[in-house]
Amino acid sequence: MSHNLQFYIDGQWVQPSGSKTLEVIDPSTEEAIATIALGDEADVDKAVAAARAAFPAFAATSKQERLALMRRLLEVYKARYADIAEALSREMGAPIELATKAQAGMGTAHLSKMIETLENFEFEEVRGTTLIAKEPIGVVGMITPWNWPMNQIMCKVAPALAAGCTMVLKPSEIAPLNAIIFAEIVHEAGIPKGVFNLVNGDGPTVGEAISRHPGVDMVSFTGSTRAGILVAKAAADTVKRVHQELGGKSANIILDDADLNRAVKLGVESVMRNSGQSCNAPTRMFVPAALHDKAVAIAKAVAEPLKVGAPASNDTFLGPVVSETQYNKIQKLIEAGIKEGADLVVGGPGRPEDLNRGYYVRPTIFGNVTDEMTIAREEIFGPVLSILPYQSDDEVVVRANDTPYGLASYVQSGSIERARKVAAQMRSGNVYINYPAWDAGAPFGGYKQSGNGREYADFGLEEFLEIKGTVGYAAA
């Protein structure tokens, strides 16, 4: 791509202020596939200035004008769909089928849903004599991760466009190529200059500059809880809105009346999908103590045949994890599980035997895990599942909630009434009963240290709006 060493600011591709660059590594080969420019504070200043200049006119556009722009964006996105999928597969190691059907597909799903949401959304209502108006918050700084890159870009850009906000995006420097293609899509779609701006860079430089910039009215951040805390601290001095979607350590409660084979099988596959790099992965599987050994046997039988291999292969289930840093972190946590006495059921340290390069991790399952073990407490962000035995429904609810995180929970039961009762007690932003179909209209976000605010559909749109009450507006 010709724009790797440039940034998209004020409707055009521009040269960076500095000269720092970074190689983008293919995690399946450990070799560089591209080089990108790294921005600095001066680049952020330019992007924010462009977004601020564009805001008054864009905020004044009609709903129909913004819908026309978003529909055009969707058309161009679909035309570049294969390019997005290929970039995602190469830069983050996603198997090509996953990159095509899910990773790139999230872009069309969220944009389509936000178009539908905007079509039916009312920005004004009168209550008594007061006009309640929902207005765009202003300039939004967006900091997105590498694990579901296009999902998170579109979860921020689409509602910002719908609201009438302007924006500055800093995608992950580990997986930036899809974002560069997206900026090309934005340009081709005719989004007005200054509405969308892209500056590549790292968190301590560009992310920090966006978070503390006085010209940024809101920061929407997705990433680790540790990084989210730094963003919030940097933003505090300007009292801007901070929207965070952070880490997770989600519990998957399998009740004793569930179809055990189905519950364990789909639970294992959910953890291993995307090589375990999903913040809402059900990584703590709670099973009745009397069924623990049977569940472990099922889990082993499901995990052992899963193919770990090259992302370009259509029969690959798990590609590599995204980087050497992630690989090393996961290895240390697997070793901690062994050292602390969990039963290693399948997998373990090191690469699969037939792979001698690339950041490939063996699908790993531990049994007889206890709550205090490191693998039950820390977010591993790799293909590692912990199976924990429990005695009663009341006990498992308390233990499932005993975590600083609260992004998602999962409940499996043969009785919908029983599942609903347990679901109601979960301290998490989402609860999934019996592995339902994904819902682009369900609010997504977390309790506790999993963040604040919600994404998807009207819940996401509301985050980008301020509420103004004009009292006496309808007075006689």
List residues with catalytic annotation: 245, 279
Q: Are 338 and 348 contacting, i.e. CB atoms less than 8 angstroms apart?
A: yes
At 65, list the tokens: 């004008």
Alpha carbon distance 235, 143 (integer Å)? 13
Alpha carbon distance 18, 27 (integer Å)? 27
- Rounded to 10°, the helix 260-272/292-303 angle is 50
Name the DSSP letter for residue 99. Answer: I
Alpha carbon distance 422, 115 (integer Å)? 34
Q: Are 167 and 141 contacting, i.e. CB atoms less than 8 angstroms apart?
A: yes
Alpha carbon distance 146, 222 (integer Å)? 10
CA dihedral 441, 447, 451, 457 (to 10 degrees): 10
Alpha carbon distance 470, 67 (integer Å)? 27
Q: Could you tell me which of 73, 58, 69, 6 has the C-alpha nearest to residue 36?
A: 6
Name the pairing type of β-strands 451-452 and 241-245: antiparallel
Q: Are 346 and 326 contacting, i.e. CB atoms less than 8 angstroms apart?
A: no
Q: Are 36 and 24 contacting, i.e. CB atoms less than 8 angstroms apart?
A: yes
> Three-class SS string for 41-72?
HHHHHHHHHHHHHHHHHHHCCCHHHHHHHHHH
Alpha carbon distance 267, 275 (integer Å)? 14
> What phi-psi label fits residue 436: left (phi over 0), alpha (psi between -120 and 50 degrees) or beta?
beta
Alpha carbon distance 475, 469 (integer Å)? 14
Alpha carbon distance 410, 262 (integer Å)? 14
Name the pairing type of β-strands 364-367 and 384-390: parallel
Phi, psi of 296 (to 5 degrees): -60, -40
Q: Which amino acid is at 226?
A: R
